[in-house]
Amino acid sequence: MVLAGQSGGSGSFYNLVIVLDDGGAPKQAGADFLGDRIKLESLTVERGQVVVRMLKAGPEDPLCCPSTRIARTYALRSGSLVLLSETVDAPKPTAAIK
- Which amino acid is present at 13? F
| pLDDT for position 31 | 94
DSSP 35-51: EES-EEEEEEEETTEEE
Min mean pLDDT across 61-65, 67-71, 79-83 is at: 61-65
Residue-wise pLDDT tens digits, 5-15: 988 777 789 99
Indicate the length of the chain as a whole number. 98
Min mean pLDDT across 41-45, 58-62, 74-78 is at: 58-62
Residue 16 pLDDT more than 80? Answer: yes
Predicted TM-score (pTM) of the model is 0.80
Compute the mean pLDDT over every residue in the chain, rounded to the nearest whole number: 88
Residue-wise pLDDT tens digits, 27-44: 999 999 999 889 999 999
- Give dist(CA 65, CA 87) in Å, integer: 19
At residue 26 the predicted structure's pLDDT band, cuts being 50, 70 and 90, is: very high
